Amino acid sequence: MAALPLAFDTVEPGGGDCARCGRLLQPASGFVLGGQRLCLWCAVRYRPMLRRSAVTALVVGTILVAINQGGTLAAGQFRTALEWQIPLTFSVPFLVASWGALSNSRISTRETGSHKPAA
């Protein structure tokens, strides 16, 4: 699976508009995904990131279910608690992968160069 492009050098450092919805973004705010500057709402709904997070959740969640619930499932014991434990086991890696992608793509004053160095 191809990596998400995070090209900070292709985005203007000042304020601007979200490339998808046109929402006004303040300087040093927003996210850069696919070479586009996005607002939080559009970044959270960015399909390539969601797809990658879903694949991560599928792989990691399956491994975690096998480790944590494998004995119970292999024995054929389907407790009521499994109805919320298994979906939660898949949702945690999805949220962590999404959070990591968003925090990695966040525009900060460091990338824009608009911060003032300490004297």
Q: What is the pLDDT of residue 48?
A: 96
Its pTM stands at: 0.75
- Return the domain boundaries, the chain: 1-45, 47-105
- Collect all residues with Cβ–Cβ distance below 8 Å to 78 and sequence separation of at least 6: 72
DSSP summary character for residue 1: -
pLDDT per residue as tens digits for the range 1-52: 455 444 444 444 456 899 999 999 888 889 999 999 999 999 999 999 999 9
Residue-wise pLDDT for 50-108, tens only, equals 999 999 999 999 999 999 999 999 998 888 989 999 999 999 999 999 999 999 999 87
CA 20, chain centre distance (Å): 17
Q: Which 8-state DSSP code applies to residue 4?
A: P
How many helices (H) and strands (E) would you count in the chain? 4, 4
Check residue 24 and give its pLDDT: 92
Q: For residue 6, what are its two tokens?
A: 């995070």
The terminus-to-terminus CA distance of the chain in angstroms comes to 45
State the DSSP string of 47-59.
Answer: HHHHHHHHHHHHH
